[in-house]
Structure 1
Amino acid sequence: MKKNNYLILLLFVLSWIVSSAFLPAPKKTVVTIQGEAFYVNGKPTYQGRSWKGKKIEGLLMNSRMVQGIFDDLNPETRKLFGYPDTGEWDPNRNTAEFVDAMDEWKAHGLNSFTINMQGGSPTGYGNKEWYNSPFYADGQLRPEYMNRLKLVLDKADALEMVVMMGIFYFGQDQNLEDEQAVINAVNNTVNWVLKEGYQNVLIEVNNECNIKAYEHDILKPDRVDELIELVKSIEHNGHRLLVSTSYGGNTIPLSNVVKASDYILIHGNGVDTTEKMENLIRNTRKVDGYRPMPVVVNEDDNYDFDNAKNNFSVAVENYVSWGYFDYRRDGEAYEEGYQSVPVDWGINSERKKGFFSLVKEITGGKF
């Protein structure tokens, strides 16, 4: 009888060891929201920090780094994105260099970034024939994309950085065959993040939902709140992901999205004066359904970092998180732009240096 008991115990232990080997490694970074502030591991971000008399604790200083897992599945256009030194595009090199650069971003005080499952325009604005999507036509996940995403999220978790993760991008959503495929893609993405154990991820359902290029109605302003509610309904081990969606530049969010969202995303493209930025923030907080909740700019291509007043500083003065959007203009070198593919993920251009210098001044550096 004793022998049988020992055998049962041994089988139980072996079963536990084998099952444990397939569990995701424990994660260390948890993002939550209290009122208008973001908290990481139970403490407000930049705890105790102020800048020019303005509180910054609870904010996300972020940058639009959406191409971290980019690939082009169209062999006809893939050649457009070759590296200067090799002439060839390499998605694994892109992600590896992204991950390597994250330490330097964090050392300057950046505590967040936006990455997008379907990227963004690899030429700055607009989408053409290239095919960049981690989803098969029915919304199932492509393993090679998710393997690259895991590298990014693991490093962000280790650095205690918050990831704003977009799911869809206009000009790529048409690669999903129908509305059910869109819903499948949301379900599969959110369940993957939760089952992998990540709690440092904020979901952005789609980038700029009001852009007319979106094909599927459920991704457009009148119905996108349905997908926000879907994300909120998915739980794993008692945890769900915080979620929102964004609009095009200088657009005030609609009430249905504000009511459904955990935080608000606005974009500063076209907000070419600080007065316009102040008005955008003020009017966003007047939308029906607004209650104390974080407001985040996670895309703005207005810089003027050398000026005493710019969109970044005005956002901070109004207790709004701000995000840098940089792309390579015509004739500029490889070092420019974080959205243009191939990407130099380092801080190697004057524009990038200007942004990160101001981040370091505001935050005091590594936090």
Structure 2
Amino acid sequence: MGKTNISIENESFLINGKLTYSEINTSKPQAHGLLMNARFIQGIFDDQANPGRFARWGHLEWNAEANTQALVDALPQWYGYGLRAFTVGFQGGGPCFTVSNDTIDNNPFGKDGTELDSAYTERMDTLIRGADEQGMAVIVSYFYGAQARRLKDGRAVRNAVIGASKFLHEGDYTNVLIEVANEMNISAFKEHPIVREPEGMASLIDLAREASGGMAVGCSGGGYRNREVAESSDYILIHGNSQTRQRYYAMIQEIKGWEQNKPIVCNEDSQALGNMGVAFKTHTSWGYYNNITK
């Protein structure tokens, strides 16, 4: 497969062998190699507990496949505005503030991590292939804290990593980057030290890379960074939520001081456009997250 081939060269991203944005004649050289992205984490979302409560936003009923297709249909417009990647999660994220995450069942892995739901993989395939047609990369996130608690133990976590990674490998996708977990350090992962502790996460990153056939892998933290995780990653994921420009800049400079020579990618930062400016000035990628209209 592959009209779109994402690759990494030192601190920069390339699509089809060319630095991102270099195809735009009027683009600034400082933008070349960045991967400006958005958090479309609910792109394959479903609720196996009570899907009817998500019959909202002008729809009389909830339809998971239609939700995915609507995102695919919108990608050309996003691409036209400069978006070159987005994050989507196997376990989604927090879909809205009026429904408790603990009551939602959006876990496609089963209790022991071996039962990857074919309905989810079909939607993921639709989304990845839609992005490929458009010239965009997809950051595929495996675990979300509120849903990871449905996995019974560390072995189940490992099984889920292997299953998701094998699916991506068998799809022969060339436009995929992997995020093992969303904000590994938060308390929602307290039941899974293999996710929350740097040593465990480093092992999961290695496992995902091997099972996926060598795809680029990383893991994000909530205002958190860890050198062991960064060293094991192919690209370094951060989040900018609740960070002032000064704190965000300091975090980036600290990571750069580790001299990893890898891209730094923020893939979640709300509407903090000031931080986008910091990202541009430090030649790091930035990700928009709309948490206002949820």
TM-score, with structure 2 as normaliser: 0.93
Which amino acid in structure 1 is aligned with residue 228 of structure 2?
N
Q: Does 1:298 align with 2:267?
A: yes
State the alpha-carbon separation in 2 of the partners of residues 94 and 48 from structure 1: 31
RMSD: 2.0
- Aligned equivalents of 2:256, 2:32: Cα separation in 1: 19
Matches within 5 A, 1:327-366: 327-328=291-292, 336=293, 340=294
Query: Deviation per CA, 1:329-349, whole angstroms, max 9, x where unpaired?
Result: xxxxxxx3xxx3xxxxxxxxx
Aligned pairs for 1:28-47 (under 5 A) are 28-47=3-22
User: Helix, strand or coil for the counterpart of 1:320?
Assistant: coil
Distance 1:256 1:111 in 2: 28
1:2-60: per-residue Cα shift (whole Å, max 9, x none)?
xxxxxxxxxxxxxxxxxxxxxxxx32221111100011111111117699966111100
Change (3 A) 1:50 1:274: farther
Instruction: Select 2:80's aligned residue among 96, 107, 111.
Output: 107
Number of residue-to-residue matches in the alignment: 290
The aligned residue for residue 343 of structure 1 is none
Q: Which runs of 5+ in 2 are unaligned?
A: none
> In structure 2, how many angstroms separate the alpha carbons of the residues matched to 1:94 and 1:53?
35
SS in 2 for 1:28: coil
Q: Whose radius of gyration is greater, 1 or 2?
A: 1
Contact 2:90 2:108 in 1 (8 A): yes
Aligned-partner Cα distance in 2 for 1:146–1:124: 26
1:142-153 superposed matches below 5 A = 142-153=117-128
Superposition deviation, residue 229 in structure 1: 0.9
Q: Give structure 1 stretches of 5+ with no counterpart.
A: 1-25, 305-309, 329-335, 341-367
Paired residues of 2:271 and 2:290 also in contact (CA < 8 A): no
Is 1:165 aligned with 2:143?
no
8 Å Cα contact 2:141/2:181 also seen in 1: yes
SS for the counterpart of 2:32 is: coil
Alignment-derived partner of residue 89 in structure 1: 62
Alignment counterpart, residue 238 of structure 2, candidates 244, 260, 266 = 266
Q: Which residue of 2 aligns with 1:61?
A: 36
Aligned residue for 1:137? 111
Is the 8 Å Cα contact of residues 49 and 55 (structure 1) preserved in structure 2?
no
Question: Counterparts of 2:232 and 2:44 in 1: how far apart (Å)?
Answer: 28
Identity of aligned residues (%): 37
Residue in structure 2 matched with residue 73 of structure 1 by the alignment: 48
Distance 1:61 1:40 in 2: 13
Structure 1 length-normalised TM: 0.75
Aligned-partner SS, 1:205: strand
